[in-house]
Chain A
Amino acid sequence: MSALTGPDVLSAAERSAVEALVFPLADDEFVIAERYTEWQVRAPTLESDLALANVAQDEFGHARLWYDVVADLGYDEPELLFEREPDEFYHASLCALPFDAGDWADAVVRSYLYDTAEALRLGSLAGSAYAPIANRIERITTEEEYHREHATTWIERLCVDAEGRQTVQNAVDRLYPYALALFEPGTPEQTDAIESLNLRTESLPSLREQWIETTSTFFESIDVSVPVVEPLPEDPGRHDSHVEAWLSLYEEFTRTYRELDRAHTPTITSEHNDG
């Protein structure tokens, strides 16, 4: 049973720790879903087109569940998405990197790297002291398993010949350092608050280590090498710089809102009480 039952019982410090934890989760899901949708009607087969569209839909759903948690703290949807400044988003740059035209290996490798990290992250939140976080985990986790199945099946399929394996290798070389930034913490004060309140029950360095172990074992099993990853890229996202392409993605997803001059938008977040 989580000690912190809902928004009404949070002190100002607890509330700020919940926000520091949840915004990066929500932003990762939202931004990677935005990128995945670019594959609609462009994936290599109709089946994979539908599968990736479904993965994107799931990630939008998970973004909605996480944004609901902060919406219950008093934010509305324009503040959360359409009127937030681009440098106030906290996703890791893995989620925002553009796809090169036709580079399907990038899509499936990115999905594998991201979803493996997400599974670990969800595990570290299942015992969260904040009930609205803990209560969401099983729902989200059950929807994540087939994402990894889809990604690993495609990676293995691409690796049946040398040319395909090279496209996977290129994607791993490019994406792996950005994926590691998924485990970048916020400020030391935020990390201390998140961990001392038991909002997350495992540290990011520990999750990072498990992620490296799992992903390295998988890639080695299909003769794909994992690059040396230090230092991190200069534009890893989170609280550091975002990749340049993030700005154009941001312009794109906020465009309709701006052009219609919407003072009020139909919401991705719920107007209803949310548990």
Chain B
Amino acid sequence: MTAEDPCPYPSYEETADGEMPVPARGDSATGIERRVFEALETVEDPEMPISIVDLGLIYGVSVTDAVATVDLTLTYSGCPARDLLCETIEARVERLDSIETCSIQLVWNPPWSIDMVSENGKSELESFGVSVQ
């Protein structure tokens, strides 16, 4: 961690209209940040085989000077796929032309829950045989 990180320990507060800003899906992201989200969309959770963006594990993405910072949470604290997911994310994001480094920040607050799965993700999980309703 470097001293210039704007917010080294983000805690995601409700916005004025009472909405939680997480998970981030990148709907309004543009340019290189949009491309980082597209790279993240290709990464699947090994236990719930949908993209980690649809699963709701991404809490934020920012890019400064060719360094992409990805805020990532996990479905539970004992998740044995932590290193696998982090390594896959780094590899996919660093493959982008204008990214040199992908830095992952693990975050735990607010805790992930099934409510964080996108509608698209829910229907994909349904067809996989996992009920999320």
Contact = CB atoms under 8 A, between A and B. Distances in A.
A58 B77 CA distance: 7
Nearest to B7: A5
Contacts, number: 83
Contacts of A62: 77-78
A120 B77 CA distance: 19
Interface string B81-118: 01100100000000000000001111111110100000
Interface residues of A, number: 34
B16 interface: no
Contacts of B105: 272-275
A13 interface: no
B11 interface: yes
Nearest to A130: B9
A11 to B, nearest CB: 16
A58 B76 contact: yes
B104 A65 contact: no
A275 B12 CA distance: 11
Contacts of A272: 86, 103-106
22 contacts: A5-B8, A57-B80, A58-B76, A58-B78, A60-B78, A61-B77, A61-B78, A61-B79, A64-B78, A65-B108, A135-B9, A135-B11, A139-B77, A140-B77, A142-B113, A143-B78, A266-B83, A270-B82, A271-B86, A272-B86, A275-B10, A275-B109
